[in-house]
Amino acid sequence: MWITYDPRRADAPAGQGASRRRGERLSPAGSGPTGRGKGPPRGLEAATECRRTPLGVARPVANTEPMTQRVELATVMDRLAVDGLVTEYAVAVDDGDWEAYRGLFTADGRADYRSAGGIEGDAAHIAEWLARSMQLFPMRQHLIVNRRVRFGILDQDTGDTARVQADYINPMRFATPDGASPGPDGGSTAPDFVCGGRYAFGLVRTDDGWRLREVVVQEKWRRTPAPAST
């Protein structure tokens, strides 16, 4: 610690009272007032030496903070892009936009709806099947929640692949016997068929952005209309 003294005190260092101003500080090593000695205290000097090379040149410390920030920002942007792709998938199915549906997949992308009573195949084939089968449900509202994103490695570049596990609930309404859509002129719009389960999405980064390579549906439950009473 630093020692503060008054030259008028009896215990002031001998021969130094006249050369110092009142309240001036002494270093612990007695090397003179602060800023007037021949060098830093021995303890500080030793600490400084241990951070120097044998030639007395301080070792440079790499500043990795900007790189870390760039990596973190890229990860955030990838998460947003992946999340947006899953949302676009749900909207395409609900709106019956099968061209947009196909555009969400890679050229070799596939989907598997067998656990829900559907089929498995490439994206183009699946889009054709959905276009036919979804005519049975003119009202549908896909909700994909609890999305868990994990990034993988492709060709030694972390973040080139991603896996998304997500839960879904899908309320739908059957078409009326005459084929009319539910609504003000077509009856109730309330869902009468509801199913739920879990999605497994496999994604890959392409030159056009993130795309789906695999979609697997695991249906866990469904509620169908009660049988009509006779």
CATH number (domain holding residue 187): 3.10.450.50
Could you tell me if residue 53 is inside a domain? Answer: no
- The least confident of 22-31, 179-188, 198-207 is 22-31
Could you tell me if residue 54 is inside a domain? Answer: no
Could you tell me if residue 50 is inside a domain? Answer: no
Mean pLDDT score, 80-97:
97
- Give the per-residue pLDDT at 15: 47
Could you tell me if residue 4 is inside a domain? Answer: no
Share above pLDDT 90 across residues of the chain, in percent, rounded to a whole number = 49
Q: Over the chain, what is the mean pLDDT?
A: 77
Q: Are 119 and 126 in contact (CB under 8 A)?
A: yes
The residue among 191 and 23 whose pLDDT is bigger is: 191
- Domain containing residue 100: 67-223
Could you tell me if residue 34 is inside a domain? Answer: no
Share above pLDDT 70 across residues of the chain, in percent, rounded to a whole number = 62
Could you tell me if residue 33 is inside a domain? Answer: no
Q: Are 137 and 172 in contact (CB under 8 A)?
A: yes
Beta-bridge partners for 59: none
pLDDT band at 26 (very low <50, low <70, confident <90, very high): very low
Could you tell me if residue 8 is inside a domain? Answer: no
Tell me the range of 40-49, 158-167, 174-183, 198-207 where mean pLDDT is highest. 198-207
User: How many structural domains is the chain composed of?
Assistant: 1
Each as own residue / partner, the long-range contacts of residues 121-129 (CB below 8 Å, 24 or more positions apart, any chain) are 123/212, 127/98, 127/99, 127/101, 127/102, 128/98
